[in-house]
């Protein structure tokens, strides 16, 4: 049986400022077998790590990330908002994330800005890293584009709520391997239906024993967590260490 896949959410978002080198390192140091990042585009087309549309919450600047060039973004402080000891922690681009993660864990690249899909694929192709990553997105049209551009790349559809379009049917139609649902959606029946269609199910975001036990009972194949070290210890106590 494939082991339950622990995915560090935005790196290890409980331990260090999300989507930074410190956060990715914290996930890798905790031996997370997979690490998720959120990506968007800078004004000059660089693929950068950021969860929100704007810089306001997690950096020293304000406004949409799309309005700033990479040479401006790379000088921002993306750590102080989290804790004083992370002052000066820089924003990363996708190249930087690949440098850190690709030989040590699977990288889940969640595309936040649907327009970033071609830039993401270009970086992966230049780096020969297509097989080291899974591309995911709430913007399903970006996943459909990724599939048209790249027949072999691993895709996962992220699902926030009950959508107009059936996620199982959509994921099958683009040859995705997985669904990444909000954990509230991942009931045993929902997971079973995805499994019957050949999809694995990896809910987000699962922190703590009660949430873990719920997704285990539902039959999930893994989960996103803000603290991969803690989740791996909980799994070990249940005899489910990878």
Q: Which residues bind ligand G3P (CB under 6 A)?
A: 9, 36, 38, 51, 110, 136, 158, 180, 204, 224
Binding residue count for Mg ion, defined by CB under 5 A: 2
Member of 18, 38, 93, 227 binding Mg ion (CB under 5 A): 38
Q: Among candidates 7, 77, 66, which has minimal Cα distance to 39?
A: 66
Nearer to Mg ion, 7 or 124 (CB): 7
Interaction between residue 18 and Mg ion (CB under 5 A): no
**In the complex, least distance from residue 152 CB atom to Mg ion, rounded to whole angstroms:** 23
Name the closest residue to Mg ion (Cβ). 110
Q: Among candidates 19, 22, 41, which has minimal Cα distance to 88?
A: 22
Contacts of 200 (CB under 8 A, 6+ apart): 2, 5, 177, 178, 179, 194, 221, 222
Angle, helices 94-101 vs 117-127, to 10°: value is 40
Cβ–Cβ < 8 Å for 41, 116: yes
**In the complex, least distance from residue 38 CB atom to Mg ion, rounded to whole angstroms:** 4
Interaction between residue 89 and Mg ion (CB under 5 A): no
Nearer to Mg ion, 125 or 182 (CB): 182
Contacts of 173 (CB under 8 A, 6+ apart): none
Q: Where are the beta strands (DSSP E) in 33-132?
A: 34-41, 47-49, 106-111
**In the complex, least distance from residue 36 CB atom to Mg ion, rounded to whole angstroms:** 6
Give me the phi and psi of 15, to 5 degrees please. -105, -25
Interaction between residue 110 and Mg ion (CB under 5 A): yes
Nearer to ligand G3P, 15 or 180 (CB): 180
**In the complex, least distance from residue 203 CB atom to ligand G3P, rounded to whole angstroms:** 9
Q: Which two tokens stand for residue 107?
A: 């990288």
Nearer to ligand G3P, 54 or 72 (CB): 54
Nearer to Mg ion, 96 or 241 (CB): 96
């Amino acid at each position: 049986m494939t082991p339950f896949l622990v995915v560090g959410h935005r790196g290890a978002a409980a331990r260090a400022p999300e989507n930074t080198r410190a956060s990715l390192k914290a996930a890798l140091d905790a031996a997370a077998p997979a690490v998720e990042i959120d990506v968007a585009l800078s004004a000059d087309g660089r693929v950068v790590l950021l969860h929100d549309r704007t810089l306001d919450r997690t950096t020293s600047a304000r406004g949409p990330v799309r309005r700033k060039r990479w040479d401006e973004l790379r000088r921002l402080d993306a750590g102080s908002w989290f804790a004083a000891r992370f002052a000066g922690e820089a924003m990363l681009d996708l190249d930087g994330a690949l440098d850190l993660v690709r030989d040590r864990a699977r990288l889940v690249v969640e595309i936040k800005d649907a327009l970033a899909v071609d830039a993401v694929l270009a970086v992966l192709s230049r780096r020969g890293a297509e097989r080291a990553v899974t591309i995911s997105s709430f913007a399903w049209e970006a996943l459909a584009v990724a599939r048209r551009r790249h027949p072999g790349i691993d895709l996962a559809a992220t699902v926030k709520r009950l959508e107009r379009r059936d996620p199982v049917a959509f994921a099958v139609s683009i040859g995705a391997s997985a669904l990444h649902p909000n954990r509230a959606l991942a009931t045993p029946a929902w997971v079973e239906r995805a499994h019957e269609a050949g999809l694995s199910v990896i809910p987000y975001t699962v922190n703590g024993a009660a949430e873990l036990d719920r997704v285990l009972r539902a039959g999930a194949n893994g989960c996103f967590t803000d603290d991969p070290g803690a989740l791996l210890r909980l799994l070990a106590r249940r005899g489910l260490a990878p």
